Structure 1
Amino acid sequence: MGGLRELKPPLSLRDVEELEAGEVVELTGRMIVARDRAHARLLELSRRGEPPPVELRGAVVFHGGPVALRRGGVWSVVSMGPTTSARFEELAVEVCRRLEVRALVGKGGLSPSWSKALREAGAVYLAYPGGAGVLAARSVVRVEGVHWLDLGVPEALWVLEVRKLSPLLVAVDLKGRDLYEEVAASARRALRELRAERSLKP
């Protein structure tokens, strides 16, 4: 048995085209960590024709805000749990479209319309389990940089080097599948069947 597929940013369109919904992968290399305020600022820069503080072409963006400590001028990440991507899905997809980000990592997925837009932007959605922030922090090799601390530590734009960050579940792929929508559709079918069954009982 082989190990997990390892993603190493920067990712090409071909890299993400090979991924299939339901597959579990791991990530090694540079990862960007950003929440909604950092996404909004990235878009402000892009609309003004200004470059982001770090290259995002082919990047993987983790939706979250790390718990980080600074000792002797060196940052260390204590915990890094994912946040709910749907809170700023429009911003996230627009960042992917404008800046050629190839993968988002978060929890909860996106609404069906924004999942479709993400796919059209050439990016995939990787689900990371909530409540596993300490596990994610263990994969952080070092903090390469942090930008926009004026937004606050959790809302700043973080640039991390990670090694074998997992489990990352491919939830939205470029082949047309969205695991969140598939589960929701299955639940709706089961509910209809249950209601029909109950209506037939004397």
Structure 2
Amino acid sequence: MEKRIFTPLTDETIESLKAGDRVLLTGYIYTARDAAHKRMVEALNRGEAPPFDMKGQVIYYVGPTPPKPGQVIGSAGPTTAIRMDKYVEPLLKLGLKGMIGKGYRSQLVKDLLIKYKAVYFAAVGGVAVLLSKSIKSSEVIAYEDLGTEAIRRLYVEDFPVIVANDIYGGDVFEEGRKKFAQIDP
């Protein structure tokens, strides 16, 4: 069974999610990869405001390809999340509630998710064209000079993700490894 949730995320929504839950996400989310994260955190360190209000928001680690004629967005598959780990805490402090990427997160980020009441969603890599079909609008809102890594505001409908890390310490990647290790050859 899939859970339908909407952005901006609330503490109540976050508390209802457990690692392994399949989720269909609807609402506005924001894109950012390595270069955008670095720039945002450097700006925060200088006392500048972020390019959007983080409270309750979700960041999707993606650098979409340019759209073809008639498309809202090009291919929009997740990038490896662990590359953003060093930038996570300043954004969580501002109220960020969710992140979407592929692959596992460091123990530091898993601990920060518990501390700041946020979740990490995994999106399936390799199905970028299918994921882009859930994206209904896309607009660049910051760092246009970064090209595909600019920050975009996306409107998504029933965007499919899995709760990889929850506020209770749940981790689908660790649970999967443990299950695999128990299989008799």
Identity of aligned residues (%): 34
Pairing of 1:1-202 with structure 2 (within 5 A): 4-69=2-67, 76-91=72-87, 93-151=88-146, 153-166=147-160, 168-187=161-180, 189-190=181-182
CA contact (8 A) 1:140 1:160 kept: yes
**3-state SS of paired residue (1:78):** coil
Mapped to 2, the partners of 1:177 and 1:25 lie a distance apart of: 16
5+ unaligned residues in a row in structure 1: which ranges?
A: 195-202
Q: CA deviation at 1:30?
A: 0.3
CA contact (8 A) 2:57 2:98 kept: yes
5+ unaligned residues in a row in structure 2: which ranges?
A: none
Partner AA of 2:148 in structure 1 = P
Q: CA deviation at 1:185?
A: 3.9
Partner AA of 1:43 in structure 2 = V
> Per the alignment, do residues 145 and 4 of structure 1 end up closer, same or farther by CA in structure 2, a change over 3 Å counting?
same
Please identify, of 111-120 and 23-32, the stretch whose mean Cα deviation from structure 2 is larger. Answer: 111-120
Mapped to 2, the partners of 1:185 and 1:114 lie a distance apart of: 20
Superposition RMSD on alpha carbons, in Å? Answer: 2.3
Q: CA deviation at 1:23?
A: 0.8
**3-state SS of paired residue (2:129):** helix
CA contact (8 A) 1:39 1:95 kept: no
Aligned residues: 185
Partner AA of 2:15 in structure 1 = E
Q: CA deviation at 1:186?
A: 4.2
Partner AA of 1:184 in structure 2 = R
Partner AA of 2:132 in structure 1 = A
TM-score, structure 2 as length reference: 0.89
Q: Deviations over 1:179-198 (max 9, x none)?
A: 112223444x549x98xxxx
